[in-house]
Structure 1
Amino acid sequence: MTPISLTRLDLTSDPAARRVVKDETVTVEFAREAGSLMSLEGPNRYGPGDALITGATGERWVVSRDRFDAKYVAHDGVAHGDAGAYRNVPVAVLAKQMQEAFSIARSEAGDVLHGEADDWVMQYAPGDYGVVKAARFAKVYKAL
């Protein structure tokens, strides 16, 4: 079966969407140069200074530096901007569990991520998306 391609998704009016919040301490390194990291959901390109994150369940992904600074706080004595432990700022986001395989761009003209049936499509803000595997979602997200 061919995965569905999600475009211009707006979960704010979708009755199947849930408001959830992430609760996780992650390990962070900051990129010294541009590159690409392969997450479970697809490629994540990054630039110098972007955050290269390893989650509590071992998954890896990238967060641009401006988004990282707004979404994570240093933890366990780490100075903000240094490599080490960070906690996410608890912010409600929209999530929908998909019933079939799908793909979605992280942002306009961004990297394309892929999910399987039962994975979750995330909407962090208008035009800002993610994909979370079902097992990881169950471990680090809580319904509001």
Structure 2
Amino acid sequence: MSSESSVPLYRSSGQPGYSSLISNDPRRVWARKLVREIEARFTPVPCTVQSREGVVHARPGDAILTGVSGEHWRVSRERFAEKYRPVPPTIAGESGRYASLPYRIMAVPMTEAFEVLLADGVSRLRGSAGDWLVDYGDGSLGVVSPPIFATTYEIIG
């Protein structure tokens, strides 16, 4: 977290493991990603993705996903296979339908506005009071709105 802006700033480390700031927060919960089908395309060129929480920079090969509520987000090429599997007839690494894998996350329900600096050091997400600050355990953090959290995660502890 940083006090450089008027709202708390959480920085993705880019290193495997969970953030101690999040793991030590007394509001922290463990949750599991529910299996959901999404659309994925892989960008051949650098581009930006307009997510609900902010503009995210994507590199060639990164996956640009569209969720069940029409929301968009980016997953790096390096992390995509750890989080999604192709739904036949989609071939791994090609655009098409994918199913999320049930991986564990840590999340904190936030009581004030906040920002997340992604591991690329450029992309910033903005969260509001009530949004979830999510730690994916791979050095990346995210912002998830309550309705999306409720339909894509199951609190397990």
TM over 0.5, yes or no? Answer: yes
**Is the 1:108–1:127 contact (alpha carbons within 8 Å) kept by the matching residues of 2?**
no
Displacement after TM superposition at 1:120 (Å)? 0.4
**Is the 1:28–1:84 contact (alpha carbons within 8 Å) kept by the matching residues of 2?**
yes
Displacement after TM superposition at 1:141 (Å)? 0.9
Identity across aligned pairs (percent)? 31
Q: Please give the secondary structure, in 2, of the residue aligned with 1:94.
A: strand
Match of 1:59 among 63, 67, 71: 71
Q: Please give the secondary structure, in 2, of the residue aligned with 1:90.
A: coil
| Matched residues, number | 143
Q: Which runs of 4+ in 1 moved over 4 A?
A: none
Structure 1: state its 5+ residue gaps: none
Q: Which moved more, 1:118-127 or 1:102-111?
A: 102-111
What does the per-residue CA deviation read over 1:64-119, in whole Å, with 9 as the maximum and x for residues that have no partner?
A: 11111221100132111111111111111000110111101122624111001100
Q: CA RMSD in A?
A: 1.6
- Alignment of 1:13 with 2:24, yes or no, is yes
More strand by percentage:
1
**Is the 1:50–1:63 contact (alpha carbons within 8 Å) kept by the matching residues of 2?**
yes
Structure 2: state its 5+ residue gaps: 1-5, 13-18
1:70-109 to 2 correspondences below 5 Å: 70-107=82-119, 109=121
What does the per-residue CA deviation read over 1:53-72, in whole Å, with 9 as the maximum and x for residues that have no partner?
A: 00111100111111112211
TM-score under structure 1 length normalisation: 0.91
Q: Please give the secondary structure, in 2, of the residue aligned with 1:43.
A: strand
- Letter of the 1:57 counterpart: S
